Amino acid sequence: MRILLLCVLSFMISPIFGQETAQWRGPLRDGIYPEKELLKKWPEAGPKPELQITGIGKGYSQPIVYNGVIYTTGIKKDTMDVLSAYDLKGNLLWDKVYGHAWAKSYPDTRSTPTIQDDMIYLVSGMGTVCCMSAKDGKLLWSQDAQNEFKGDYQTWGIAESVLLTDQAAIYVTGGEETSVVAFDKITGKLLWKTKSLGGARAYASSLLIERNGLKIILAQTANYVIGINSINGEILWDFDLRPSQTGDMGRGCNTNTPIYRDGEIFITSGYDHPSMMFSLSEDGRSVSLKWKNEDMDTHHGGVVLADGNLYGTNWQNNTKGQWVSLNWESGKTNWVKDWFTKGSIIAADGLLYCYEEKGGNVALVQPDVSDFKIISTFKVGAGEGAYWAHPAIYDGKLFLRHGNILLIYNIKA
């Protein structure tokens, strides 16, 4: 019941952060979708397939639905990132190049569109930040942010999805000139840039929160989790993550958008890095570490909070992991369970949707502190490559991407 209330609350309060924004991992970037009256159990063969769209381009980004149009990003034209728009019958309305794709290892498009007021905000794999019309894909503005601010890449390029504030489009650069920049949403002009804390960018998308009237951007670089005043770019606080990242792999690979509730911030990033919970001061200008947990180190599949408990995965290596639940308040582990391997997770209408990344198995799961309670499963067969794109739910339909293919299932009760 509580997760249903959180879903409804997410839908109701999302305008605080920008007028019905369609974006990465749902209205509040927390993996919870405001859908109701969904199936509580799937048929044995899985929910009814409604549509399959092929040729969306190589990518791991999440599909977005806005005003009855499906938007996807992918590599379609040689080495270029392309934004595509489809109607709800799968017909291509248009596609537009918005920048160069990541040119090195795993050159698949990662950035999910952020859409607000008929404007789409994107980051290309090589660091072009741009704004396009949701109606026809017309380019409204573009900034070569990577080169302009001397940003610092990590091994697998850019996976960030643009964060919007009341005035700005936010982008994490990393590097020695600045760590985070803000562009005017309408004109693309630079509004502010933070001082540099040094080090490369991370892979995680940022989050906008509010603490007693102060709107704060939670951003991550390779070295820090940072709280930034959304109005002027002042760094309110930073926490150095390097001392806790002592393994041989993945140092600086901070991968997941934080989860925020009631003055507390949860982060996790795989590679045997401990999950951390921070308490945010009443004025929003400092944090203190509340607890660490060694069992949940989610690689890049996200985490959801339901009924006061966190659900996600751990990292055993780059192809293997387990499913994990923690108590939000105490940080104690509820359980660690095997189910194929690690993957991504979202929630809607009181249930969890898990999409494991190696074989494409999908599970409908009841949140529970005693066990990983699977209700129904099915398997995605179409497509190729790793199943790394996060699921999404819109208008009673489950959207699952596998590489160049988008599959849509009817999950309405």
Q: Tens digit of pLDDT for each residue in 302-352?
A: 999 999 999 999 999 999 999 999 999 999 999 999 999 999 999 999 999
Q: What is the pLDDT of residue 157?
A: 87
Type and span of the H or E element at 366: strand 361-366
Average pLDDT, the chain: 94
pLDDT for residue 133 is more than 50 = yes
231: closest CA among 276, 268, 271, 284?
A: 284
Question: For 204-223, what is the mean pLDDT?
Answer: 98
What is the spatial distance between Cα 400 and Cα 384, in angstroms, rounded to a whole number? 13
What is the spatial distance between Cα 81 and Cα 59, in angstroms, rounded to a whole number? 9
What is the spatial distance between Cα 153 and Cα 77, in angstroms, rounded to a whole number? 23
Q: Report if pTM > 0.85.
A: yes
What is the spatial distance between Cα 412 and Cα 376, in angstroms, rounded to a whole number? 15
CB of 241 closer than 8 Å to CB of 217: no
Question: For 91-110, what is the mean pLDDT?
Answer: 93
Largest CA distance in the chain: 55
60: DSSP letter: -
Question: For 168-183, what is the mean pLDDT?
Answer: 98
146 phi, psi to nearest 5 deg:
-60, -50
pLDDT for residue 19 is more than 60 = no
Q: Indicate the burial class of 179 (C-beta count within 10 angstroms; 0-12, 13-18, 19 or more).
A: buried
pLDDT for residue 11 is more than 70 = no
Q: Indicate the burial class of 326 (C-beta count within 10 angstroms; 0-12, 13-18, 19 or more).
A: buried
Q: How many CB atoms lie within 10 A of CB 227?
A: 26
Q: What is the pLDDT of residue 77?
A: 75
Q: Indicate the burial class of 386 (C-beta count within 10 angstroms; 0-12, 13-18, 19 or more).
A: middle
CB of 301 closer than 8 Å to CB of 314: no
pLDDT for residue 1 is more than 50 = no
Q: What is the pLDDT of residue 105?
A: 83
Question: For 248-260, what is the mean pLDDT?
Answer: 92
Residues contacting 185, CB < 8 A, separation 6+: 116, 119, 121, 131, 164, 167, 168, 169
pLDDT confidence tier of residue 21, bands split at 50, 70 and 90? very high
CB of 235 closer than 8 Å to CB of 215: no
% the chain with pLDDT above 90 = 90
Beta bridge partners of 309: 306, 327
pLDDT for residue 159 is more than 60 = yes
Q: How many CB atoms lie within 10 A of CB 226?
A: 22
Least confident of 12-26, 143-157, 204-218, 388-402: 12-26
225: closest CA among 287, 270, 166?
A: 287
pLDDT confidence tier of residue 2, bands split at 50, 70 and 90? very low
Question: For 165-194, what is the mean pLDDT?
Answer: 98
pLDDT confidence tier of residue 107, bands split at 50, 70 and 90? confident
Q: What is the pLDDT of residue 154?
A: 87
Could you give the domains of the chain? 1-60+300-413 (2.40.128.630)
